[in-house]
């Protein structure tokens, strides 16, 4: 059983009694679910994940006023719930405490997106790490009659504003081309094996990030970046297989061939979406063309490398 299913079943078994008891008057104001950091929220957890910050539990999100009124009492009641369920206990580390239990909605979102109501400007959107947006939109909401938590979640799930997405796609084209199509071969020719490995890793990271952007999905924490490709319809499985082949290859010429194939696939997808009209096989030639499509003057004035 994965963590999301366990959390939902745990809530179904004990959450009703919790909300129907002394907190019945607040039931329609409390949001319940599991979201945030952790492989369980992404649905990627397995047996290995169960040794830390995993197990039966759920989040209860309250408005600021409700948290002040009943937060402490609700947390005490939550802590009285059974510590094990369906044969699983909860393993908590000092770094994972506070992931479940009673939380204030605005503060919870602020830790990920720097503002209780989410990004307020295009530049706010641009600055937030993709992994943080992925974390706070992962997981599942089990109960939210008030719709306060879910309303903010839906706004984030609708993805970046178009101009921000364009800025990021343009910037990825530049960094992918620089690290993979240019620097990788040059540093390898000099015998700089560390720099070559770093360029290869940078290339893979940014190429995978581009695939998430094309699919209008936030790229998760690096540990799950590659695995998450399998769920993406546009280039996901192709890039997953090709990246695996690239990092597994022992021959420099084979690596360069994989880099060329990945870049060609990315360019074809950019052309298919109508984001570039260039036939160049170099991604750095496509970045500025995509950046020019940004409508907001202030955002367009930024360097194409920013994103």
| SS3 per-residue string spanning 214-283 | HCCCCCCCHHHHHHHHHHCCCCHHHHHHHHHHHHHCCCHHHHHHHHHHHHHHHHHHHHHCCCCCCCCCCH
Give me the pLDDT at residue 94, please. Answer: 64
Give me the pLDDT at residue 47, please. Answer: 75
**What average pLDDT does range 116-126 have in this prediction?**
98
**What average pLDDT does range 50-61 have in this prediction?**
84
Which stretch of 78-87, 144-153, 237-246, 270-279 has the lowest confidence by average pLDDT?
Answer: 78-87
Give me the pLDDT at residue 96, please. Answer: 60
> Rounded to two decimals, what is the model's pTM?
0.95
Sequence-separated contacts (24+) of 274-277 with Cβ below 8 Å: 275/166, 275/169
User: Contact at 8 Å (CB) between 301 and 290?
Assistant: no
The 3-state DSSP class for residue 33 equals strand
Cα 289 from chain centroid?
27
Q: How confident is the model at residue 160 (pLDDT cuts 50, 70, 90)?
A: very high
Entry field: residues in the chain: 307
User: Contact at 8 Å (CB) between 172 and 213?
Assistant: yes
Indicate whether 263 pLDDT > 80. yes
Q: How confident is the model at residue 48 (pLDDT cuts 50, 70, 90)?
A: confident
Residue extents of the structural domains in the chain = 3-157, 162-300
């Amino acid at each position: 059983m994965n963590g999301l299913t366990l959390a939902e079943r745990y809530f179904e078994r004990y959450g009703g009694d919790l909300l129907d008891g002394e907190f019945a008057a607040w039931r329609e104001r409390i949001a319940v679910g599991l979201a945030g950091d952790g492989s369980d929220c992404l649905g990627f957890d397995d047996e290995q994940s169960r040794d830390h910050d995993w197990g039966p539990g759920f989040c209860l999100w309250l408005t600021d006023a409700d948290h002040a009124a009943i937060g402490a009492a609700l947390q005490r009641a939550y802590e009285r719930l059974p510590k094990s369920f369906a044969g699983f206990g909860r393993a908590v580390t000092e770094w994972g405490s506070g992931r479940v239990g009673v939380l204030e909605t605005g503060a919870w979102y602020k830790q990920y997106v720097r503002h209780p109501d989410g990004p307020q400007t295009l530049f706010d959107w641009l600055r937030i790490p993709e992994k943080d947006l992925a974390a706070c939109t992962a997981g599942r909401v089990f109960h939210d009659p008030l719709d306060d938590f879910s309303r903010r979640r839906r706004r984030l799930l609708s993805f970046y504003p178009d101009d921000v997405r364009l800025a990021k796609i343009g910037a990825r084209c530049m960094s992918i081309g620089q690290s993979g199509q240019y620097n990788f071969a040059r540093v390898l020719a000099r015998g700089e094996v560390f720099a070559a490995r770093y360029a290869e890793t940078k290339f893979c990271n940014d190429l995978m990030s581009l695939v998430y952007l094309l699919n209008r999905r936030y790229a998760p924490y690096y540990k799950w970046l590659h695995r998450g490709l399998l769920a993406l319809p546009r280039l996901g499985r192709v890039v997953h297989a090709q990246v695996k082949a690239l990092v597994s290859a022992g021959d420099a010429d084979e690596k360069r061939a994989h880099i060329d194939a990945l870049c060609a696939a990315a360019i074809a997808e950019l052309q298919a979406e109508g984001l570039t009209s260039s036939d160049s096989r170099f991604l750095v030639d496509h970045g500025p063309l995509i950046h020019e499509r940004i409508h907001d003057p202030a955002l367009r004035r930024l360097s194409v490398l920013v994103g």
